[in-house]
A and B are shown apart, each in its own frame.
Chain A
Amino acid sequence: KAGVTQTPRYLIKTRGQQVTLSCSPISGHRSVSWYQQTPGQGLQFLFEYFSETQRNKGNFPGRFSGRQFSNSRSEMNVSTLELGDSALYLCASSYRGGLGVGELFFGEGSRLTVL
């Protein structure tokens, strides 16, 4: 059974550009959540999607957005990139969303470097 797949694995952008990251959850999983990991802030929750609806959102500016498609695949977008957006972006999937969610399974992440 394939795990959570994130693409691209590595990317370099310059300030002011935008970036789109993709996440394919484990087959049958309907909930996808995104996290940002930085050395200074650790792992921070970005947002959660379930059945194409955003269920929960972390404390990030509006430049960070996401969506989920009918096949449960998800994308996140960061517009007007800043140096501080350099991070490892991790996607996690679970079978259910909300309080029914059980174990979360993470992908390998997309490492974004902003120059």
Chain B
Amino acid sequence: KQEVTQIPAALSVPEGENLVLNCSFTDSAIYNLQWFRQDPGKGLTSLLLIQSSQREQTSGRLNASLDKSSGRSTLYIAASQPGDSATYLCAVREETSGSRLTFGEGTQLTVNP
């Protein structure tokens, strides 16, 4: 059974700092991995999608990497801003699971002005 773990569970940083969020998964037979952010009481906003054949994806100040063989992904946020404060979730889609995503518990990020 696929398990997704995110470390740390919570992170508080001063504005302007570069930071890394970690995601690990137990079964490397994944189809793709998707990073989301969730604001309190809201739905999920897709940030980046990495296919299993890719090593990284970039969007603005965000960069996500994927090491499928070791079961790891990282989300790098450059020059963090208070507006980045949210819960960040990673989710994997396995090769045999259709569109079913398995989510981690998330990292709650607070960026202090």
Give the segment of A11-19, A41-49, A64-72, A73-81 that binds chain B: A41-49
6 contacts between A and B (CB under 8 A): A33-B100, A43-B89, A43-B91, A98-B98, A101-B98, A103-B34
How long is the Cα–Cα vector from A104 to B31 in the complex, in angstroms? 13
| Majority SS at the chain A contact face | strand
Please indicate the chain A residues that have their CB under 8 angstroms from the CB of B86 in the complex: none
Comparing B13-21, B77-85, B101-109, the segment that makes contact with chain A is: B101-109
Q: A103-B34, A104-B34 are in contact. Are A94 and B99 (CB under 8 A)?
A: yes
A103 to B44, CA, bound (A): 12
In the complex, the number of residue pairs spanning A and B with C-beta atoms less than 8 Å apart equals: 64
Q: How far is the CB of A89 from chain B (nearest CB, A)?
A: 10
Shortest distance from the beta carbon of A6 to any chain B beta carbon, whole Å: 8
**Which residues from B are CB-within-8-Å of A90?**
43-44
> In the complex, which residues of chain A have a beta carbon less than 8 angstroms from the beta carbon of B31?
99
Q: Is B36 within 8 A of A45, CB to CB?
A: no
**Known: A42-B106, A43-B89. Contact between A103 and B46, CB under 8 A?**
yes
